[in-house]
Structure 1
């Protein structure tokens, strides 16, 4: 059964805000999740008027829990099994050629004087007929991203059972509707994500309901002016006058209060705006690595009729333009400080399934990699993710998706024009209140037509959108876009990011670019049968990009691996080498963008952050949250204070990503031959690292007498000799070079670096200890690794569930894939949830490029 709204006291749920006076209507919101059933409309003669009657039989229907797409519901019920394994998704038939019924029953709150009932749908896809208790509420609720709301007071059965029936028509394949679209990063979903994919609510209010409270911030010096907006709706057939009042609160700060009398005509919805509230010395919201993401609480009420509350941040994002290499690029400031965008493109599960734990893991991994931005290209509506971003200082870069009906807008129908504007209005309302939202992209690869762009901007103006916007994020389609999308989208050698003669290198601002990223073997084993793991074949490639696209294989990555590290001989050998290649490439990517921040580079979005399903293409961490080479390469590159190597010029940079300058530092660069670790060069220089800047500190000269594969070790220490940053590179006397052949997704390599010298390293016998502490539901393991002799290269400690079990995920490490010299040791901590051990004892597994795998119990 649905969660019931029986009386006022029972309305105090985590899913809703409750407030009421001493008498009258109950005020609250309940998400309708349980007790739903699903079936194809094909062969069912009954109409919505019949199906939405209380007691209608659903024998033979598929039970589902909302939110759910059609396919997600069928998979949850076992109709289709293990669809992410191998090529099993091909066994699911096309589900878009028929309509689908969702049906459920719930008990509504008892009637009270002035009680009003509302149904709200946050996500219907693509169009729906909606029936409640035999009455049709809407014959054509259309638009995946358009919210739909109904006053159902005259239809509801107060204090009794009610029945909802929703007939869903799926979106068209090939992204022909204004729906979700995965473009080319995985196969199309057989149902195109049809269904009730986002939350469905039953709300109760008095005669006046409040919607979409919002605080717009304007900063001036050490003060802020806060303008509060909220919509008020008169649910009655007569004029109503009420007092709309509110407070802004934060622990330790003075409470700010405001109110005004509001008169609403019958059925009227009106925006209520309050005079700006002046705040001196506010506590500001800052993004990650810049400060604390402080939040205030806004509470607004319409007498005892309705109450709404949101968290918001006092902060201000502004944009500016700088011309680099002849192109105007957008840069961004937060609270007056320029900030380098370092982020990835987020995608939800292919079936649009998420939960609180998954959302929290994504945000934790973004912070774990030292990133500050998530791009949402059409993946809009996961509002819990927005809340988490607010609380963790992760900026959100939302906008519509490319390569679909969203950008083929010159041929829109009148209905599509209405859907597009309503979709923007719905999503901007949800995003505008969030401190984390710093901009909006009206288009991705291409800008909308002039008429549609003007209509979009009118929507933003009406909503008092306080953040910058861009018409699109690709200068190839619009020279004034402010961001470039010139690729690459396949593997490139690390030197590309530093060579500013290349379109995809680290200059300006990029809306997206990235490379193939095969996950570690342990993850491959979860979605590929042994015969499909090696040699690479059709099933492996099915988990690359969209079939029959240029990304339906990862040949560029594999060519680079074989030619640089030596031909892979097995799935295990391929994995150990791919981890190296992922690490060095991703590290170099973020290092290059950071080195000249706010001068020549202003922000980058790595394509992609994660995967919608188990994939071998485009991610910084895989579908299962197993952190691999890309994750740890990004984490190394984005240390708060970091020393890095420029593959193109041999310059060494120190980057300070904080707002506090660092002085008294010493940078050391040393070069070593392999396999004997003979030092061929060493130098040290004093360093002062200005806040929020990159600084070139030295150049490693061209050296002779180097081994074919050699190591570069960069270290940064403070005045007391403590390590601030320690960074090891492996490179070659025959470096990577690029040809003049390029296209929109690739610059073709000409020569590949010879890194095979790593294969001749002597075995290193690392020792390890591991102890844990338990605090509530969380465990922290302290790992100490020691290397008595030789070079221990690319060493990977993992906490596993049991001896020989899988790595516990999600997990956070302070460092990983470490390299250390003879006699050195290092301490790493790992944090995870006890429940993720699955009842097993934790073990520490240690492996490395030249370190035999071993495991010890965690004491």
Structure 2
């Protein structure tokens, strides 16, 4: 291996004129640099001793570069696995909350005939760099780059000693230490990291060049209104690092299209020349019929490749070469209706995405792992990721988003704390560095100044001007992440599915409405298999303090873990143990996360312009805010979001029972068939509720299909209602009889209030349902009348608990029925979603309390385009009847294909029993040790099969996960 490295280095150095700007890695996984680290205090005051060839480092810790100091200690086995139990909370932080020295050696075989450069891409928080005892420079802020000419400093054929003093960021972190990793001293989704993620946090490498360097190439694109023409503008600097004038030719080549433009230039000694190529002088940069970059679902994320070279001398030597990818696109924005809309290439984009707090809480996500994480977002049919408080700095993240068509809402490093960074000038320097480094990525859709507030003066003005100057205003600068055309943040806890369709799902800050919500989410519990990996067995059950240390308790109060627990208990029945809890949690995850996205799509362009879940990926093993977990298990939240966000998607509203098709593509579809089939708990079709219609589905819009009528027996359905008062934040009294459990009536804030229904004629009934909002009555009377003047009590409630109240009374005949409130349970008034009236003697055949809705959308040739499946209860989210399902019987067969390092398992699951196979989960394992085959890409999971039905499931993963052995597939219906 050493011989191979030396040969590569020889070619790397001597091949300077053939291929400048090649990189050779000095990262710890590059086999050339063996990094180690130790506390500064262990060295003493004489740091120059580090540059003695014989300096002993046997007792130093092997360092991960890039990475964090604490992560290196974990990798070395000095600290226990911080993911498990409370290990990270037991670490002595004093060991890490101080400065550290990094040291490595490397050898370059022979003297270069050009220049040799040492490059640093990022250090957190500050770093001082030395080579062979010579100070090279100081980096301040994790976005600052270091590029040092070491041509006269390195020792050819001998050991070169590179050392970096990395300084601890210091407390408090928000906003004082910015730019740094905001959450490093804990947040409500990750623990405090010893050392606050200090370290050499980005790549270190060597490059070669001639005397002239290409710096900060910047390519801008514009697109005509009809999208038939694109116009490119290229800017870059040429820096002459020599003491003589340099002259040569700058050449830019763009593929596809084989476009080449060039310009001759002379550069004075030690100076820089700014070069510009645009269509005013270079007609080649006017591209006809361009391949445009589109977000996921709206088109292909086409990318172009730019190669820049500067050649000097009579022999045309290459002094420097740079390559980059870019996409041809044009972002525009509007706030019509008070709602922010993001447009690309003249088309409005309906935002569907998620927030990333960190890629991994110890900075252990690197390289190709970003391709996996971003691909999972593409598979969920997302089109945007929010880089929350700029916590992701790795170029690979943006490259993956470019390839997958995932737009990035990119924050700077400020949270709503009323303090400025310790050094606002350094903050601004890092801002400029970030923009320059990332602006060529087509994925960046917007720059944002502050999380949930406005940057304090002078930063807001500086940030706005930085974007205007260094990104030329090609992307919008937005000061506040939840205001100014946005509808606030949160909430971040579990709500009933109907709430997401109801006017309005409230947020904190911003404007009222659906609009564009940059963060809203819910707790998301893991599967039992993931739970076991980080939770000690003695802490499995029942819920305890250890759960809280993984954010299911007071530490994650915003996630509403109590609400989540109550929802499981009330909706699915109290769990009998941890396995049962995790099993039921996946149903809640599916239902809530699907409703979140479908609720926004239900109101698409009628106020709503998009939504991003908080959060879409997991940085730490926890029970909150994730779609796939830390181990890449695709839990129920993933499948709920994936289904809801289909580009062409048929969906049902829990609130008003309407069925719609949301189409977030640029293609319209005519003569489609929308069908709703309703089944009882036994899987038998219930025709009175089934519907079908032909629909023409509009492009980039939502289309109404029909409304399911689950009120055939409700005598009050669509009858007139009258109330003593109505508040401004609710609908009129008739909302209680409209069949929409998302609309509500609310009274003034006094005890003596009432609402009554006019059944139009004397009617016999013996059952009343009151579906209360949070503002309910502890005391009330149900009264009847024949003239709406004189009232007779038929029921008295003196200890009301709210929720859905089913009241049975002696049979009575009357035209009017009234709820008369006597005592409120809250400071608010009385609020009802539904006021229903029934007669048991006249009920038609009832469907089971829990039943199922299957939606089908087919094109004009009968091909299935979208399907959807819901479980519904006539008792307000009470699905406990699912626990009475007879055991399912399924047959599973599978085969595997291996190609180019990847494997594909094709699984067929057939329901061979008499009961439905509800929420069927498929998981692949390797047979050698029983571990799950993760990460994997799957096409479906948690699906339901009627008797005789089958489903094909594909599971794609890297073949190396098999460890040379075999696999098995386990299929588990909920009613196993």
Partner of 1:198: 202
Find the partner of 1:144 among 135, 142, 145. 142
Is 1:709 matched with 2:715? no
Moved more, 505-514 or 25-34: 25-34
1:302 is matched with which residue: 300, 310, 314? 310
Query: What's the counterpart of residue 75 of structure 1?
Result: 74
- 2:923 and 2:241 map into 1 onto residues whose CA distance is 58
Name the residue aligned to 2:477: 470
Rounded to whole Å, the distance in 1 between the matches of 2:646 and 2:247 is: 56
Whichever of the two has the greater Rg, that structure is 2
The equivalent position to 2:892 in structure 1, one of 764, 768, 785, is 768
State the SS of the aligned residue for 1:168.
strand
Distance in 1 (alpha carbons) for counterparts of 2:865 and 2:342: 28
Q: What is the alpha-carbon root mean square deviation over aligned residues?
A: 2.4
Aligned-partner SS, 1:141: strand
Q: Which of 662, 683, 687 does residue 691 from structure 2 map onto?
A: 683
Q: How far off its partner does 1:152 sit? A: 2.9
Give the match for residue 820 of structure 2: none
Distance 1:732 1:671, change over 3 A: same
| Aligned mate of 1:830, from 938, 955, 962 | 955
| 1:289 and 2:292 are equivalent in the alignment | no
3-state SS of paired residue (1:371): coil
* Structure 1 position 45 matched with structure 2 position 44: yes
Residue 435 of structure 2 is aligned to residue 311 of structure 1? no
> Quick check: 1:342 aligned with 2:352?
yes
Find out whether 1:390 has 2:390 as its counterpart: no
- Tell me the equivalent position of 2:716: none
1:445 aligned to which of 452, 466, 475: 452
More deviation, 39-48/650-659 = 39-48
Paired residue for 2:159, among 158, 161, 180? 161
- Per the TM alignment, residue 76 of structure 1 is displaced from its structure 2 partner at its CA by 0.9
Aligned partner of residue 442 in structure 1, secondary structure: strand
Per-residue deviation at 1:412?
3.8
Cα distance change on mapping 1:6 and 1:232 into 2, 3 Å: farther
Structure with the bigger RCO (C-alpha within 8 Å, sep 6+) is 1
Distance 1:57 1:267, change over 3 A: farther
Q: How does 1:602-617 map to 2 (within 5 A)?
A: 602-617=609-624
Alignment of 1:301-450 (within 5 A): 301-303=309-311, 304-323=318-337, 328-346=338-356, 347-377=358-388, 378-403=390-415, 407-408=416-417, 410-413=419-422, 416-450=423-457
Taking a change above 3 Å as real, the CA distance of residues 665 and 473 of structure 1, as seen in their structure-2 partners, is farther
1:471 alignment partner, SS class: strand
Equivalent residues in 2 for 1:501-520 (5 A)? 501-504=504-507, 507-520=514-527
Find the partner of 1:492 among 491, 495, 498.
495
Residue 258 (structure 1) aligned with residue 383 (structure 2): no
Instruction: Render the CA deviation track for 1:826-851: whole Å, top value 9, x for unaligned.
Output: 2222212221123331111000111x
Q: 1:473 to 1:259 in 2, by over 3 A?
A: same
SS class of match (1:614): coil
Give, in whole Å, the separation in 1 of the partners of 2:548 and 2:560. Answer: 5
Give CA-to-partner distance per residue, 1:344-396, whole Å, 9 cap, x none: 11221111112334222202211211111121112232111211221222222
Render the CA deviation track for 1:118-164: whole Å, top value 9, x for unaligned.
222111111122211111123x4221222233233342324432111
Q: Which runs of 5+ in 1 are unaligned?
A: 13-17, 736-752, 853-859
- Per-residue CA deviations over 1:176-205 (Å, capped at 9, x if unaligned) read 411102233211111110000111122221
Of residues 178, 184, 188, the one that matches 2:188 is: 184
CA distance in 2, matches of 1:516, 1:785: 30
Q: Secondary structure at the match of 2:399?
A: helix
Provide the rounded CA distance (Å) in 2 between the counterparts of 1:282 and 1:55. 60
The runs of 5 or more residues in structure 2 that have no matched partner are 29-33, 280-284, 312-317, 714-845
Contact 1:542 1:552 in 2 (8 A): no
* Residues 474/545 of structure 1: CA separation in 2 closer, same or farther (3 Å cut): farther
Match of 2:17 among 4, 13, 21: 21
- Please, which moves more after superposition, 218-227 or 381-390? 381-390
CA distance in 1, matches of 2:46, 2:365: 32
Write the distance in 1 (CA, Å) between the matches of 2:874 and 2:201.
54
Deviation at 1:40, TM superposition (A): 1.0
Identify if the C-alpha distance between structure 1 residues 631 and 673 changes in structure 2 by more than 3 Å, giving closer, same or farther. same
Distance 1:36 1:599, change over 3 A: same
**Compared with structure 1, are the counterparts of its residues 51 and 553 closer, same or farther at alpha carbon in structure 2 (3 Å cutoff)?**
farther
Shift of the alpha carbon at 1:822? 2.2
**CA drift at 1:27:** 4.3
Q: Which residue of 1 aligns with 2:128?
A: 129
- Distance across 2 between alignment mates of 1:605 and 1:533: 32
Secondary structure of 2:424's aligned partner: helix
Mean CA deviation greater in 788-797 or 356-365: 356-365
Number of aligned positions between the proteins: 809
Contact conserved, 2:292 with 2:328, CA < 8 A, in 1?
A: yes
Shift of 1:88: 0.6
Deviation at 1:218, TM superposition (A): 0.8
The alpha carbon displacement at 1:408 in A equals 4.3
Report the CA distance between 1:60 and its aligned residue. Answer: 0.5
| Deviation of 1:483 (Å) | 2.4
CA distance in 1 between partners of 2:155 and 2:89 (Å): 44
**Residues 128 and 167, structure 1, Cα contact 8 Å, conserved in 2:** yes
| 2:938 equivalent in structure 1 | 813
The whole-number CA distance in structure 2 between the counterparts of 1:395 and 1:109 is 44
Query: 2:575 and 2:533 mapped to 1: Cα distance?
Result: 21
* Stretch deviating more after TM superposition (599-608 or 804-813): 804-813
Give the Cα separation in 2 of the matches to 1:19 and 1:496.
65
Question: Of 229, 233, 240, which aligns to 2:239?
Answer: 233
State whether residues 133 and 162 of structure 1, in contact with CA within 8 Å, keep that contact through their aligned partners in structure 2.
Answer: yes
Offset at 1:31?
Answer: 2.0
CA distance in 1: counterparts of 2:126 and 2:456, whole angstroms = 25
Q: Report the Cα offset of residue 9 of structure 1.
A: 6.3
Separation in 2 of the partners of 1:19 and 1:27?
11
- Report the counterpart of residue 583 of structure 1 in structure 2: 590
Shift of 1:26: 5.7
| Partner in structure 1 of residue 964 of structure 2 | 839
CA contact (8 A) 1:151 1:235 kept: no
CA contact (8 A) 1:4 1:107 kept: no
Q: CA deviation at 1:622?
A: 0.2
1:266 and 1:134 map into 2 onto residues whose CA distance is 28
* Pair 1:106-2:106 in alignment: yes
Shift in Å at residue 818 of structure 1? 0.7
Q: Deviations over 1:604-656 (max 9, x none)?
A: 11111111111111101100001110111111112232111111111111112
Give me the whole-angstrom Cα distance separating, in 1, the residues matched to 2:359 and 2:21.
32
Q: Is the 8 A contact 2:464 2:477 kept in 1?
A: no
The CA distance in 1 between the partners of 2:629 and 2:689, in whole Å, is 38
Note if contact 1:131-1:137 (Cα within 8 Å) is conserved in structure 2: yes
- Counterpart CA distance in 2 for 1:5 and 1:754 is 69
Measure, in 1, the Cα distance between the counterparts of 2:21 and 2:159.
Answer: 19
**1:545/1:32 CA distance change after superposition, 3 Å:** farther
Deviation track 1:773-799 (CA, whole Å, cap 9, x = no partner) reads 222322222222222322111011121
Match runs of 1:539-558 below 5 Å: 539-544=546-551, 548=555, 550-551=557-558, 554-558=561-565
Between stretches 539-548 and 598-607, larger displacement belongs to: 539-548
Deviations 1:538-564 (A, max 9, x none): 111111179746348722211111111
Name the CA distance, whole Å, in 2 between partners of 1:88 and 1:302. Answer: 54
- 8 Å Cα contact 1:375/1:398 also seen in 2: yes
Distance 1:426 1:150 in 2: 17
| Compared CA separation, residues 152 and 284, structure 1 to 2 (3 A) | same
CA 556–63 in structure 1, closer or farther in 2 if over 3 Å, else same: same
2:248 to 231, 242, 252: 242
